[in-house]
Amino acid sequence: MKAFFASFIGTLLALAAFCVAAAVLVLGGFAFLVSAGGGKAMQVQNGAYLVLNLDGTNITDAPPLVEEGGLGDLLRGDAPRPIAIRRATAGLHHAATDHRIRGVFITGSFSPSGFGTGFAALSEFRAALAEVKAAGKPVKAYFDEIGTSEMYVAAVANEIVLSPFGLVAMPGLASEPMFYGAAFEKWGVGVQVTRSGKYKGAVEPFIRKDLSPENREQLTVLLTDLWTNVRDDIASARGIKTEALQALVDAEGLITPESAHKAGLVTAIGYRDEVLDALRKETGVDAGEPFLQVAFADYLALLPKPGAGHGTVAVVYAEGEIVDGDGGEGEVGGASYARELRALREDDDVQAVVLRVNSPGGSASAAEEMLRELRLLSAKKPVVVSMGSYAASGGYWISAFGDRIFTEASTVTGSIGVFGVQFDVEKLSASIGVTWDRVQTGQKAGMFTNARPKSPAELAVFQRLVDHTYDKFLERVAEGRSLEKARVHDIAQGRVWSGTQAVKLDLADEIGGLDQAIAHAAKLGKIEGAPDLYEYPGTLPFGEALAEAFRHGTSPEARLAKVRGPAGHMIRQVEEQVKMLDRFNDPRGVYARLPLDLRIR
């Protein structure tokens, strides 16, 4: 019966996929005919403003699966538009010296998705924006409403105009994990946990109703550390005393335009049409016509390719949860990444490798599979690690042997700990009249069942495996970072740290972004001048991207993007927790993952 339903559903899905594919191909052919019918290549006019419209934008580490615009937008649907951080900063670096670009205009709001648009990536983005300002080109911004992420970026601007009916929504940072312990208890789903490290709380949503004291402690310290970095950077850029900014945030949270203007967070209060009129006058355009401008995406498409053929640095993006096997879109598959690292090791055209990590971890077996290849790779050519917004647990596991580790101050890292989780549905099944009986050849022969709780002896087996894996984790970090194992244990125990603390604790070498990591890798690889770059995973041709979309299905972001407001937010939280359970596919059932679903907004 199960096979019948699986076959039936599979047939329906295949039919639906065929219909969608046919529609996409028809629309794609139409788009091709339209685009082929004429039109001049886009030109950047002298004196144009580079327009950064943040609406629907998600700053990612890895390049998008498919190129932006045209057929790529058909595949992406309503999902946020990804812009890779390296590409974004390269565009701003180029704009700083491009005589055609008069300045930069920023508007709109980010649409964070997955592990994108974290403060570590935004730190690199704002630094590149500050470079444009330092080149003597004005950076201007207009917002109907501005959140913490947008303010963090726009704070470097010369002018920030806020709508008279707008707000600066900057109450501080918060993380609000969802807990299912009471629901599982009510439904009769049993959960048994094995873990090493008192701060290892990734399983807490399934066994508790609230944060444990240990996790409350570490999250409070972490958020305070990250908020201090963000607040101080904003205050410094706006010329405000940190004490005054904190007082304003505490007093209002949702800061009115008048208070924001008085404090110096914004330079003026005005309407969008007034800002556009000023830009028209500045660029010499008549009323009713758009001011001289070029969209950021169009400008990026015109950028010259980096490098001069003197050597190649490969940039490998480990963005997403680490899973066993090949993984899918948004996941780091241990097998597929190991194959790529092995290929890079044997590729004589690649002189150095940068591993860019933006991952909360996941499967311990998959992380070890990748680390093995990274260690073999580093024995043959330089491997530099660049930590993005998250490089924790399994994400740190794969980072430990980098020749040099760069981190941003706001990177969430550490979480050196291991856990296992065992579910059973005995009570749930009994409530609907379903029972099991069993015959087995030994005391532990049935230990992988979900039909009953694990016995104390069986649970002890899983605990030994978790403890053994944790010990190996400590050994990896101690060897990779040249630290005493006892010292690693002291700073491990599953505890998360900010990038600032990671440097102090010798878990990372220095504060810096992806550009610095690439430059350092090129230096270690003895590459003179700007290196050529090879990226994995990279942007695919449309046909391959279409195949990937059907292979892995539509992303949750695309499916649920139309559900707005509090209901949509809660749906996405539940969806992400279900996805996380689905990614618990380690063959040994042991995981090195960030405590809880730590999304900081």
> Are residue 272 and residue 357 in the same domain, yes or no?
no
Which of the residues 393, 399, 415, 555 is marked catalytic? 393
> Are residue 396 and residue 284 in the same domain, yes or no?
no
> Are residue 280 and residue 370 in the same domain, yes or no?
no
221 located within any domain: no
> Are residue 474 and residue 573 in the same domain, yes or no?
yes
Domain count, the chain: 2
pLDDT score recorded for residue 598: 59
183 located within any domain: no
The answer to whether residue 378 is catalytic is no
Write a three-state SS string for 464-477: HHHHHHHHHHHHHH
4 located within any domain: no
3-state secondary structure of 525: coil
> Are residue 295 and residue 318 in the same domain, yes or no?
no
Question: Which of 414, 96, 104 has its CA nearest to residue 282?
Answer: 104
**55-74 burial by CB neighbour count: b if 16+ within 10 A, else e?**
ebbbbbbbbbbbbbeebbeb
Enumerate residue ranges in the chain where pLDDT < 70. 1-41, 67-79, 307-308, 540-589, 595-601
> Are residue 346 and residue 493 in the same domain, yes or no?
yes
Alpha-carbon distance values, 416 to 196, 199, 337, 594 (Å): 9, 9, 21, 9
d(CA 522, CA 529): 8
pLDDT score recorded for residue 203: 83
Which of the residues 113, 137, 140, 200 is marked catalytic? 200
DSSP 166: -
d(CA 255, CA 166): 9
> Are residue 393 and residue 478 in the same domain, yes or no?
yes
> Are residue 383 and residue 294 in the same domain, yes or no?
no
Q: What residues form DSSP beta bridges with 146?
A: 168
H/E element holding 281? Answer: helix 272-282
Q: Both tokens of residue 378?
A: 């580093």
H/E element holding 192? Answer: strand 190-196
> Are residue 291 and residue 371 in the same domain, yes or no?
no
The identity of residue 132, as a single letter, is V
3-state helix vs strand vs coil in the chain, percent to 5? 45, 20, 35
Cβ–Cβ < 8 Å for 139, 129: yes
CA atoms within 13 A on the CB side of 590: 24
> Are residue 384 and residue 351 in the same domain, yes or no?
yes
> Are residue 542 and residue 406 in the same domain, yes or no?
yes
User: Residue 505 is part of which domain span?
Assistant: 312-420+455-589
599 located within any domain: no
The answer to whether residue 200 is catalytic is yes
pLDDT score recorded for residue 564: 44
Per-residue pLDDT reduced to its tens digit, 499-523: 999 999 999 999 999 999 999 999 9
3-state secondary structure of 164: coil
529 located within any domain: yes
272 located within any domain: yes
> Are residue 384 and residue 330 in the same domain, yes or no?
yes
pLDDT score recorded for residue 584: 63
Domain termination site, one of 234, 268, 301 = 301
d(CA 60, CA 5): 38
105 located within any domain: yes
Per-residue pLDDT reduced to its tens digit, 20-56: 444 444 444 444 433 444 445 578 999 999 999 999 9
Q: What is the CATH number of the domain that holds 296?
A: 3.90.226.10
Q: Helices (H) and strands (E) in the chain — how many of each?
A: 23, 25
198 located within any domain: no
Domain termination site, one of 301, 336, 358 = 301
DSSP 306: S
